[in-house]
Amino acid sequence: MQRVATGIPGLDPLLNGGIPQGSSVLIGGASGTGKSILAMQYIYESALKGEPGLFVTTESGVKNIAWDMQSFNWDINSLQEKKMMAINRMNLGYANDARVVVERIKEELDLIARAVNDMHAQRLAIDSTTSFAVWMEKTEFRPKLFEFLDWLKDLNCTTIFTAETSGAKTDFSAYGVEEFVADGVIALYFTPPNRSIFVRKMRGTAHDKNVHPFEITNRGIEIKPREQVLWEAIK
C-alpha cells in the first residue's frame, strides 16, 4: 500500500508514515481547534514536495485563505505560479430554496472533481463540508459524499475534509454521518490553553491510539508525537 506523507510536523509518525493513498480523512473539531490550518498545511506541504494539491474553501474567500497561509510565512505565490497548488472557492450562491442550493452543491462537487483531474492533483482539502451539508437531508448527504469521495479515489487523490463538531469529545462531525463515510478520522481538541489531536480511525493501517499535544506556531501546526495527553484531561 502506498502512503501519502502529510508533511505536517509530528503527524506522519501517528499514521505509521502517512495516509493510505486515495483515502479520505475527516478532520473533526469545534471552532478554533485548528481544522482549517491543518487542511491548508496539508496542501502547502504537498506543493513543496512537487505534488499538486487543491484547497477548496466553502466558507472564506480565496484571498482570505491566501492571507492566512502567508501569515505562516508560507511562500504560496511561487507554488501557485508553478501550478503546484491552487485555492478554489465552492460557490453555493445565495438562493433561499434548498432544492436550488442542493443542485448547485452537486454541480460544484462535480467541478471540484474535474479540477482535481485537470491539475492532476494528488491531494485535495475541502474546508468545510459542514457548510454545504447543512442544506442537505442526511439521507441525501451521505450517499452524495460517498459518491464524491469514491470518485476522488478513482482519481488516486488523497483527500482531507473538515467538519465542525459541537466540541463534545466523542463527536467527530456535524451530522454524525461524515465519520462513517470517511476512511479516516482525526479529532482536534482545544481545552484552553492546551491543544490536542488523536487519530480516531484510519482504514487499512495501524495507527497511534494516544492523544497528543500540538501547538499552532508562526510556522503552522506542530504535533508532539512523543508526548501524551490523558483522555480525561480533554474537556
Ligand X SMILES: Nc1ncnc2c1ncn2[C@@H]1O[C@H](COP(=O)(O)OP(=O)(O)OP(=O)(O)O)[C@@H](O)[C@H]1O
Shortest distance in whole angstroms from residue 75 CB to ligand X: 16
User: How is the chain split among helix, strand and coil, in percent rounded to 5?
Assistant: 35, 25, 40
Binder among 6, 36, 58, 88 for Mg ion (CB under 5 A):
36
**Which residue, 119 or 234, is less far from ligand X as judged by CB?**
234
Pick the stretch among 30-38, 92-100, 134-142, 173-181 that binds Mg ion (CB under 5 A).
30-38
Shortest distance in whole angstroms from residue 143 CB to ligand X: 25
Report how far residue 168's alpha carbon sits from residue 170's, in angstroms, rounded to the nearest whole number: 6
Q: Smallest Cα–Cα separation from 61: which of 121, 134, 141, 127?
A: 127
Answer yes or no whether residue 33 interacts with Mg ion by CB under 5 A.
Answer: no
Report how far residue 7's alpha carbon sits from residue 3's, in angstroms, rounded to the nearest whole number: 12
**Which residue, 161 or 198, is less far from Mg ion as judged by CB?**
161
DSSP characters over 51-109: --EEEEESSS-HHHHHHHHHTTT--HHHHHHTTSEEEEE------S-HHHHHHHHHHHH
**Which residue, 31 or 139, is less far from ligand X as judged by CB?**
31
Shortest distance in whole angstroms from residue 35 CB to Mg ion: 5
Residue 205 carries which DSSP code?
A: S
Binding positions for ligand X, rule: CB under 6 A: 29, 31-37, 71, 164, 216-218
Interior angle at CA 166, CA 107 and CA 177, nearest 5: 45
**Which residue, 35 or 144, is less far from ligand X as judged by CB?**
35
* Pair 223, 198: CB distance under 8 Å: no
Shortest distance in whole angstroms from residue 226 CB to Mg ion: 28
**Which residue, 36 or 165, is less far from Mg ion as judged by CB?**
36
Give phi and psi for 106, each to the nearest 5.
-60, -40
Shortest distance in whole angstroms from residue 39 CB to Mg ion: 8
Shortest distance in whole angstroms from residue 34 CB to Mg ion: 8
**Which residue, 75 or 147, is less far from ligand X as judged by CB?**
75
Q: Which residues bind Mg ion (CB under 5 A)?
A: 36
